[in-house]
Structure 1
């Protein structure tokens, strides 16, 4: 006997979906699909495209096993920066989806739990689906191992632009443009520096 169901549920807290998934996987014989799972490469591509604040929010979600508290983000990164982080994540997800590099079945990496005890206008927490946590954990680990790769440099330069007052999405764009414009000069400087140190 085989039954197939499609559920469309709105308004339930993210934890409810994890409990439903856990319950369904306890059946003795079952096939349960949750859509296409992104690869570590896709998660890395998304991670590399987002602003430093969005990277921090993803890290909080991975460290919290799928839950990032808005209060923790605000305490560590400052008030008023959460909107830029979520906008960056949404844009990167849409871009990668339109390019065919991110599964369309996962339209959002993080889902807001809406207002919490901090106030009606402040997001209480973000939820990352349990299946994405190990994928992003690996992607972030690989990113950290890469050290001073091009995306790491873009992230640091974007931080400088943001400290100068630019919006997060503009800061990342300016950093990428700067590196593209001055790539030859930077290569010459690195070659000169390497020759001088020997």
Structure 2
């Protein structure tokens, strides 16, 4: 597991929250570490499920590197109380229709019954906070496709307060030590999107 360290003075702050800007090189190293963990486990997965939107880029990379089919699920968590650490309760809605990409990279709707073909499923997301979204997606797959006998999970980042323990984790994110505030991770593509929006006057 890798670690990205920042000094207090190096953080940019926004509305009282420290921003952890991750470089392309750092993100690439995290993805490589995560894939290495999966390969070292010796498990053979039949299907990769990514949670959109944020987990889709990671799912595409995993699918191509590991050469396994890729299904995309959309899950949206709604806070039932004010956001804060592990005490926040969420209501998670999982999309009724999901995108499935087979070995030939054809796009179809997700087959109703996957149990005869995909018994070992790896679910990936870029970050796990409460774990509610990834849990809801797994429960949805189990309900719609009974018979899947193995579900493992992987994420680039897991917040240290999260009670959900993924099987594969690139990095555990800890609060900024001086203030105890959990940093907001800013990925390279987010920086690019912001710059493009500013350039074409969409902000």
TM range, smaller chain: under 0.3
| Structure with greater helix share of residues | 1
Q: Which has the larger radius of gyration?
A: 1
TM-score by length of 2: 0.24
